[in-house]
Each structure stands twice: as structure tokens, then as C-alpha cells.
Structure 1
């Protein structure tokens, strides 16, 4: 589940999109200064082009958060795993809320591990992938600047800009960005369907695509309203923040999580956690006696 989901995301989505842009002489892989090993790594990992230049001052920005940030989220995942033992005593909707935070924290920790490996092997920092999305005050902020930032940065040159270029002569510069936004969300929905297929090997139901189409349409309306209002009237983030997160959660409960549960992701993930725990226990039991014997001999 973990290896399949992560590899499908990095290879089937990000790497293919970067290679597609490279075929047209576009995107980060088209830089002629990249060596073959870095080309391969850069194709599969979310590395900004500025980070390819070791002496660039922009590389000083750390892609990973503090160590204790990940420790805290790891402990919360442990609490979630324990809470799953009592799901029969918890309201199903609250269980789904736990799932949503579990997915978010798990993705952040996995990407942090990948980022640490990339830094140790090739000395390149990865860009941050999440920026506390639960603090979003609008859909534009949630999808554009806080949730899964690497997807936004790959969809913009691969989908948004081409659709914008093609639709501008038809709809004009004012409304073409809205069509480009919808195109980006449709492609994102289709790619999520592919990833869920790799996770569960189930025939796509279309609900994931519908989820992203709805969010793309709502985000397009949000952007259109902002264009019309142009700052003449605004609502404080104290109101728009809970409304935004509430809308994301409600639509996720309706369309996203049923598909997530249909591929039996949680039980598979729990089995993998149990297997990992058993492996660590076996290794520690095999090593600790040797350590104690060495100490006693000294």
C-alpha cells in the first residue's frame, strides 16, 4: 500500500508529466546542465530547478520542517492506529476525520523520509509539499499554496498553461484562466483515479474525478467572483477558513473517502504497520542479546 501508492504518484504521475514536457523542450528536465543521474532523480522527485545549482542562495531554504514537527505527527498517527481498535464505539463520520488527518500526516512523513534520502544521496533539498492546509482561508489558497504543492507546480506548466494558451483566443484573456483551472482539476482527478487503481486494483468509479471537478468548478467560481468584486468587499478569514475546510471535508466524505475505503486502504496499511513492527521486534531481539554478551565479556 505505502510503496505502491508512493511509487505510483512519483512515477506514473510526476515523472511522466515531466518527461512529457521534456519531449516538447519544456519543464525542468530540459536544462542541458543536468547530469544523467540528476536527470533521473529530478524526474521522480519534487525538486525545484533552483535547487539543482548547489551554490544558489535559493537552496538555503529548507524543504523539510523541524524534526519535532514530524515526531509529533508520528505520535498522532500512533494514536490514530490505537483509535482504530475502538471504531465500533466512534461515529463513522468522526472516524473519517481521523482518516483525513492520518492521510495528511502520513504523506508528510513519507515525503520527509524521501527528502532526507535525497539530501543524503545527492545533496539536494526537496521543496516543502504541504503548508498546514487546515489553515486555508479559501479554495484557491488550499489547492494553490497549501495542499500538495508539488502537484500544483507540475500541473501548471503541464496542463494549466497549455489550456490557457489554447482557450485564450476562444474565450478571451478574462475567462481563459477559469477554463485552464477546470482542465487542471479534471486531469488531477483522472490521475487520482489511476493511483487508486494501483492501490486497490478496482475499476474506477468516477467519484474521485467528480470530486476534483466539483472543486475545480467551485474554485473557478471563487476566482471569478474575486475578479468581479476586485477587493470592494471581503470576508474575514475567521469565517472563510472554517467554511473552506468544511467544504473540503464534506465533499471528501461524499466522494473521496468511499473510494478510499473501497480499495481497503486502511486495513492494508494496518497490516503493513504490523509487519513493520514485527520486523523491528525480530531485528532488535536478534541484536540485543549479542550486545549484552559483548558487554558481559568486557
Structure 2
């Protein structure tokens, strides 16, 4: 485990050095082929770096942040597109925007002041639920397979949201950056389009939209016309997302892909395209109520996830490995907290001893001289 932590730190040091090159060298080149050529080694390097880590959690974070998000952001950077263009005046801002799952937002005067406490409460609730899920895994051999899969589904959502939120804290704390939320309570979705476009993993949505969706719309406009141009663009986005998820899964398992992950996203892409098509054809008054369409969307997610997505976690032992890493982390934290508690007890004992000695010396120094003489004579001195 210590070796994994060392590799993790080394990988991120190399990533930061690479981003310094992007900031100081590549940013000075004109957009287009020259900048793309200068960044090609970085693309390849970021694809390689996760292969040096084997921990499920650490490789998952590294692969998602560098191999997917950072590479896509740098691809946009090649053509002077946000979020890295124009380059921030501060190097650390550039590194944060490139390597972390964050997107800046402008703070408006109408921003709801009561929302942060609500988010904090929800965050705490999700942490508790995640801890309870890990505790329940000790008894999963006594649970039905579908119950375990449901637990894994909740686990994937909560842990992903918490990890992305925690990753954004340094940029918010050190630089005072206003960050857009990465999730928007996906369980409140009203449709598949609402789920994928406005609620689930919005960082990926904000990256795939300019890199894939807009590009495909421009291409498909010539083929199918402006009215239907969004349909092939939507399906293409989900195909790319499926391939990237397949790559993320390969980093974690290091086994040949079975493409079930890709088919999961292709199926959802087709479903979203059909939903958009229906909305274009069916009048607003004849559409399903948001509660009904939301329930259908959640049901569709559950069925397809149980069919194609979640079984992959059990097939290659990813679940057991992740649970084992969590147990090791908990043991490490317990040992650390125990050491801290023992140290505090020792310091408290020494402090009380010093205080008692000081009080005693103070009282002795205040005794009259005859009392001191009497005390010493009684001791035979």
C-alpha cells in the first residue's frame, strides 16, 4: 500500500510538470496543428500514467482526471477553446483547471444564500450512507444478488460524487475559485435527457459537449438537416463516453474489454435520441408528466445497469478489491486516531503534572518562614 501511495504521488508530480510544459511552451504556439503536435506526447503520457498504479481508488481517480478530463481539456486547448483558453495568468490556476474535475462559474447576486448549508447536510448524509454500505458488505454473502447490485449502484453514485466534490476543495480553498457542482441530485431526474444532460457527472457533460457534440452537429447538419442534427450528435457522444468508460474500466481491471460498458452507453444514447425525437414530434400537452417520465428514466437505468454495468464490478473482483482497500484505509485511520489519542493523553498527563507541580511550588513559596522551618525540623533536617 505504501508503494502505491508513492507511485500515486510520483504520477501526479509528473503530471504537474507536464502541465507546466503546456502552460509555458505549448500556450505560446498558434492554435491548430502546431499546438496539437506539441501536445501529442502529453496525450500519450497521460494515457500511460494510470498504468503505473494498481489501487482501484487511486487508479480510478488518476485515469479519470488525467487520461479523460485533462486530455479532453488539452484537446480543446489546441484550438483555443475553454476552459484552458485563454490561459489563466496564474500557473496554479491553469494546473487546477486542467487536472481537476472543476469548471469555473460566475457568482451572481441572486445566488441563493441558504443553499450551501443544504449541500453540506446532503454531503454528510451521503458520507454516512457510504459508510453504512461498506459496513453492510460484511454480510453480503447473506443477501440476494440483486440487493448487492443495488448497493453497488448506490455506492458508485455516492463515491463518485464525493470524490469529485473533495477534489474540487483545494481549488476552492487555495484560490477562491467558484466551482460549478459536478452532480445535481440525479435521483430527482424527470427524463433520460435531464439525467445525462443536467444532473449526472456534469463535468463530463461539459467536456463532451464542445469536443464531440458540437463537432458532430456541424458535420451532421449537411447530412440530415438542422432539424434532426442533434440525434446523430447525441448517439456519437454516448459512443465516445462508452469507449472512455471502457478505458477507465481497463485501467482498473487490466483485462481485455468485453464491450458491455460501451453497449450500456450506446443503449442509453439511442434511448435519449428517441426521447428527443418524441419531444420534437409530440405536442407539449400530450407528453408524459415529469413524475412519470422520471420514474421511467430511473427504471430504465436500473434495468440496464443490472444487465450490463454492475455485473462487471463483480466479474473481475473489482468490488472485493475496493472493499479491501477501504478496510485497509479504515485500519490505517483507526491506528492513526489511536496514536493521536494516546499522544493527547500523554500530553494531558504531562500538562496536569506540570500544573500540579507549579501550584505546589507556588504554595510552598508562599508559606511563612516559621512554617518552612517547622516542616524541615519535622523531617529531621
Q: CA deviation at 1:65?
A: 5.9
1:40-59 equivalence runs, <5 A: 40-50=95-105, 57=108
Q: CA deviation at 1:58?
A: 7.6
CA contact under 8 A between 2:246 and 2:257: conserved in structure 1?
A: yes
1:217–1:147 Cα change, 3 Å: same
Q: Which of 118, 122, 146 is residue 199 of structure 2 equivalent to?
A: 146
- Alignment partner, residue 169 of structure 1: 222
- Alignment partner, residue 11 of structure 1: 66
Q: CA deviation at 1:224?
A: 0.5
1:1-298 equivalence runs, <5 A: 1-50=56-105, 57=108, 66-297=119-350, 298=352
Q: CA deviation at 1:33?
A: 4.1
Q: CA deviation at 1:270?
A: 1.1
Q: CA RMSD in A?
A: 2.0
1:265–1:234 Cα change, 3 Å: same
Q: CA deviation at 1:35?
A: 2.6
SS of match in other structure, 1:84: helix
1:83–1:261 Cα change, 3 Å: same
CA contact under 8 A between 2:149 and 2:311: conserved in structure 1?
A: no
Q: CA deviation at 1:262?
A: 2.7
CA contact under 8 A between 1:186 and 1:213: conserved in structure 2?
A: yes
SS of match in other structure, 1:29: coil
CA contact under 8 A between 1:137 and 1:240: conserved in structure 2?
A: yes
What's the CA shift string for 1:29-86, capped at 9, x where partnerless?
Answer: 11144432211110122333445xxxx5489678896322222111111221222222
Report the Cα distance in structure 2 between the residues aligned to 1:292 and 1:224, rounded to whole angstroms.
Answer: 67
Q: Show structure 2 runs of 5+ residues with no match.
A: 1-55, 353-381
- Give the number of the structure whose alpha-carbon radius of gyration is greater: 2
TM-score using structure 2 length = 0.73
Q: CA deviation at 1:95?
A: 1.1
Report the Cα distance in structure 2 between the residues aligned to 1:65 and 1:120, rounded to whole angstroms.
Answer: 19
1:38–1:233 Cα change, 3 Å: same
Count residues in correspondence. 294
TM-score using structure 1 length = 0.92
SS of match in other structure, 1:28: coil
1:293–1:46 Cα change, 3 Å: closer
CA contact under 8 A between 1:50 and 1:59: conserved in structure 2?
A: no
